Amino acid sequence: MINYKELGLVNSKELFAKAMAGRYAIPAFNFNNLEQMQAIIQACVDTKSPVILQVSAGARKYANQTLLRYLAQGAVEYSKELGFHVPIVLHLDHGSSFELCKSCIEFGFSSVMIDGSHLSYDENVALTRQVVDYAHQHDVTVEGELGVLAGVEDEVSHEHHTYTEPDQVEDFVKKTGVDSLAISIGTSHGANKFKPEQCTRNADGILVPPPLRFDILEEIEKRIPGFPIVLHGASSVPQDLVNTINQYGGALKDAIGIPEEQLRKAAASAVCKINIDSDGRLAMTAGIREHLTLNPADFDPRQYLSPARNLLKDLYKHKIENVLGSVNKA
Ligand code: G3H
Ligand code: 13P
Ligand code: ZN
């Protein structure tokens, strides 16, 4: 058993309490490799922002759980070396079973998500309660989920949203003892969050997606006042990155995300954690594609990963400073 505190990590409890009081959101960035971790920590040190490093089941398969945990441990030391000790949470994203959550907790994770959103309500409650009972013995925080996001979640794909039912949240939080709750109000995973036919066009002809269901969020806030809410699927899919990818040989079609002003509004509400993965993927891909197209003779990974890492860092800083509001909150 490795306790996350020995690694210099923190759980999400105090970060969420401060975010709730200060009306901002903690960035939750997914990572799978060294360059993503470096970009995240550089951005957070520059902006003095706390951060949640997220590991998905896919990331564990790709990069190995042991290596990712050492990277997170290294991230703590790296942030100090860069001159500022950033509070870092190591979080399991979309945990699918008690066994997986337990394994992560025993392995040094400071926070886990148990995603029982696809189960029946009673099964979701029972599974989440089981994870909470184990996690809290080790002072690890737990995120549960009610409501289903459309789109692809790892190997699970859902055609339609099932919005969170406000009438269920109080009971769920009480019965499970979770520390935060992910909800479904119209976001979805991936870079194709809306079909063009779901959108309208503004005066400049730019596609405008349907607004998030802030009415549902407000109802939820009334039922569980002051309780930390989590927003998944919160990438904004910056069109300049999509255009760069397509200009340099990519073929992304109908890539549409959540408008930033809606995410700003969410961050200023009870939403304390905002999950961003796809935007980072886009930044990395745009940087690599542009560099290799303009410098076709380069073959040293450092030559094309450095500009990609810089783009990624700029993206994270932009999110922290202009969307989440977590600058100077470390
Ligand atoms: O919620 C899903 C995250 O974007 C992780 O995606 O399972 O492909 O690593 P992944
Ligand atoms: P995006 O695909 O919108 O980045 O969402 C990521 C996420 O919710 C990870 O859990
Ligand atoms: Zn998610």
pLDDT at residue number 155:
53
What element of type H or E holds 201? strand 200-201
Q: Which two tokens stand for residue 143?
A: 């995120």
Please choose, from the candidates 59, 53, 56, 57, the residue with its C-alpha nearest in 3D space to the C-alpha of residue 73. 53
Is 93 part of the annotated catalytic residue set?
yes
pLDDT band at 63 (very low <50, low <70, confident <90, very high): very high
Mutational pocket test of ligand 2: of 235, 252, 281, the residue with most ligand atoms within 8 Å of the beta carbon: 235
Question: Which is it for the CA torsion 75, 76, 80, 86, positive or negative?
Answer: positive
Residue type, 50: P
What are the CA-CA distances from residue 141 to residues 197, 260, 277, 314 (Å)?
40, 28, 21, 29
pLDDT digits (tens, 9 = 90+) for 111-122: 999 999 999 999
115 lines ligand 1 (CB under 6 A): no
Angle of CA points 219, 181, 129, to nearest 5° = 125
56 lines ligand 1 (CB under 6 A): yes
pLDDT at residue number 206:
87
Give percent of the chain with pLDDT exceeding 90: 95
Q: 180-183 and 207-208 as β-strands: parallel, antiparallel, unpaired?
A: unpaired
110 alpha-carbon distance from chain centroid = 15
Q: Average pLDDT for residues 254-274, to the nearest whole number?
A: 98
Q: Which two tokens stand for residue 242?
A: 């999509």
Q: Name the average pLDDT for the chain.
A: 96
What single-letter DSSP state applies at residue 198? G
Backbone angles phi, psi at 103, to 5 degrees: -60, -40
Q: 88-95 and 111-114 as β-strands: parallel, antiparallel, unpaired?
A: parallel
pLDDT digits (tens, 9 = 90+) for 202-219: 998 888 999 999 999 999
190 lines ligand 2 (CB under 6 A): yes
Determine the Cα–Cα distance for residues 86 and 78; give it in Å rounded to an integer: 10
pLDDT band at 88 (very low <50, low <70, confident <90, very high): very high
Give percent of the chain with pLDDT exceeding 70: 97
Of 41-55, 190-204, 209-223, 279-293, the range with the lowest mean pLDDT is 190-204
pLDDT digits (tens, 9 = 90+) for 132-181: 999 999 999 999 999 999 775 555 556 677 999 999 999 999 999 999 99
Q: Relative to the alpha carbon of 29, which ligand is closest? A: 2
3 state DSSP class of 108: coil
DSSP letter for each residue of 266-304: HHTTTEEEEEE-HHHHHHHHHHHHHHHHH-TT---HHHH
